Amino acid sequence: MEGDAQVARHTEEPASPTQHDLPELAAAIERGDTRRAIALVDASYGEALYRFIRAMVRRAELADDVYQTTLVEAMRDLRGFAGRSSVRSWLFAIARHRCLDALKAARRRDARETSAEAQPEPIDPAPAADQRLSDAAVLAALEHCLGELAPEVRMVMLMRFSEGFGYDDIARICGARPDAVRARVCRAMPVLRACIERRGVL
């Protein structure tokens, strides 16, 4: 692997991807300048990519690890990128696989560490009727309820409503048919709404 073993997470406001980014990226790949290529990828897509990963794995330290792994894998495979999809879709496809791997590993680790007598997580009481609800409360409920969805369903919902991917793009990333993706979203919406209502914020 070229470049540093550890790739820093992009924390600055990302540049908007534009058409002139693509020739520069293609030129960097062609001349084997992997460090410059991955810097261009990170500058254009890093913030959205990290946001997606963080929402998927729901743990900051795990999100950092998955983000690093995603960029390292992208760095390794940039020369083989054939352009059959957008760079953004290609990156999210890598992140999808790495998120699922990380979630499986985390479940196995948690199962080993959790005793058989562990108490279930207490249910938060609903707020009083006259309590004003803040945006933070709604967002917290949404994050909690997204976390209760199956990983593949949560992934589709995040791509669709947080990252703005179309059904065709999501289908390519997930290896599914667009109508199957659309059906998955339709089935998840009432489940998500019911969960949020149970938490007293709708």
pLDDT digits (tens, 9 = 90+) for 112-152: 665 444 555 444 444 344 333 456 777 788 888 888 889 99
Q: What pLDDT shows up at residue 7? A: 47
Q: What pLDDT shows up at residue 4? A: 43
pLDDT tens-digit readout, 64-113: 999 999 988 988 887 777 667 788 899 999 999 999 999 988 888 777 66
Q: What pLDDT shows up at residue 14? A: 40
d(CA 54, CA 35): 24
The pLDDT > 90 percentage for the chain reads 29
Is the pLDDT at 58 greater than 60, yes or no? yes
Counting Cβ atoms within 10 Å, is residue 176 exposed (0-12), middle (13-18) or buried (19+)? middle
**pLDDT band at residue 193 using 50, 70 and 90 as cut-offs:** confident
Question: E strands within 38-90?
Answer: none
What is the set of domains in the chain, with CATH numbers? Answer: 11-115 (1.10.1740.10), 132-202 (1.10.10.10)
DSSP letters of 44-103?
HHHHHHHHHHHHHH--HHHHHHHHHHHHHHHHHHGGG---SS-HHHHHHHHHHHHHHHHH
**pLDDT band at residue 168 using 50, 70 and 90 as cut-offs:** very high
Evaluate whether 62 touches 98 at the Cβ level (below 8 Å): no
User: The pTM is what?
Assistant: 0.68
Which tops the pLDDT comparison, 139 or 173?
Answer: 173
